[in-house]
Amino acid sequence: MAGRTEASLRETVALIEAAGGTALAATADVSRSADMTALVAAAVDRFGSLDVAVNNAGIARAGQPVTELSEKDWRAMLDINVTGVLLALQAEVRQMRAQATGGTIVNIGSNLGAHHSLPGTAAYGATKAAVSALSRAAAPSTSATGSASTPSARGAADTTMSLRPGESEADRAARMKEESPLGRVSTTEEVARASCTWRRTSPPPWSARTWSSTAGRRPERPYCLGCAG
């Protein structure tokens, strides 16, 4: 796993190891291609291969009309939410092409942008819609070597990112009952399990679809990677 804050990475590693797992953490900036190349190399050095990659880094600068969004905030979201996915995807595919087992890449998007919109989220939704478009466009070129690029249209999850300014968790819970077909936020465990499902259930040639963790929203039509139909 990677992030920009060493303390939170150490905390996550401790939780994984306490549950009987093995983890490697590295500080990295997804908007820097050199960091992504080094991250993949570190993972392969530790575990021997890169079988599954989940590109989950994202920031939101929301709450204001798009006409009042600062250029700084706009560029920050583009750098992390879109360019970060591209640079990670490039580094991951290079490694997966070099290994006989191929691999699976899950790009975490959002149901905002590609599926629906909310006031104050136009710019954020635009970056997440770009993730879906990038994943679809990358699919044909990555499938020939056994790596699958899969977009995930995630709904609101149980993190601070889904809280509106000044909103409590209780306030969010009440709002989700009205806004989400699921009636609540998704847990981080649910999002993780759904992401891992792609590796377990996608037989060669890789097949993928945009999936939504918000129950009640229809997923996009499945599309094949490197196969007819």
Residues belonging to the active site = 124
Span 180-205, mean pLDDT? Answer: 62
Is residue 5 included in any domain, yes or no?
Answer: no
Distance between CA atoms of residues 114 and 133, nearest Å:
9
Span 76-84, mean pLDDT? Answer: 95
pLDDT digits (tens, 9 = 90+) for 155-181: 666 777 667 777 788 888 887 777 776
Residue 205: asked if its preceding bond is cis (omega within 30°), the reply is yes
Q: Which residue has the higher pLDDT, 174 or 229?
A: 174
Is residue 13 included in any domain, yes or no?
Answer: no
Give 162's DSSP letter: G
Q: What separation in angstroms does the CA of 183 have from each of 108, 136, 153, 176, 214? A: 21, 29, 17, 5, 9
Contact of 2 with 28, CB cutoff 8 Å: yes
Domain range holding 170? Answer: 31-224
Is residue 10 included in any domain, yes or no?
Answer: no
pLDDT confidence band for 205 (50 / 70 / 90): very low
Number of domains in the chain: 1
Decide the pairing of beta strands 223-224 and 207-208.
antiparallel
Is residue 85 included in any domain, yes or no?
Answer: yes
Is residue 41 included in any domain, yes or no?
Answer: yes
Is residue 15 included in any domain, yes or no?
Answer: no
The alpha carbon of 51 is separated from its chain's Cα centroid by a whole number of angstroms, namely: 16
Is residue 35 included in any domain, yes or no?
Answer: yes
DSSP-assigned states of every residue in 104-129? EEEEE--HHHHTB--TT-HHHHHHHH
Span 113-129, mean pLDDT? Answer: 82
CATH code, 98: 3.40.50.720
Nearest to 83 by CA among 111, 119, 59, 105: 59
CB atoms within 10 A of CB 219: 11
Distance between CA atoms of residues 97 and 90, nearest Å:
11
The alpha carbon of 130 is separated from its chain's Cα centroid by a whole number of angstroms, namely: 12
Distance between CA atoms of residues 64 and 123, nearest Å:
10
pLDDT confidence band for 199 (50 / 70 / 90): low
pLDDT digits (tens, 9 = 90+) for 107-120: 887 777 666 777 88
- For 16, phi then psi, to 5°, come to -65, -45
Is residue 127 included in any domain, yes or no?
Answer: yes
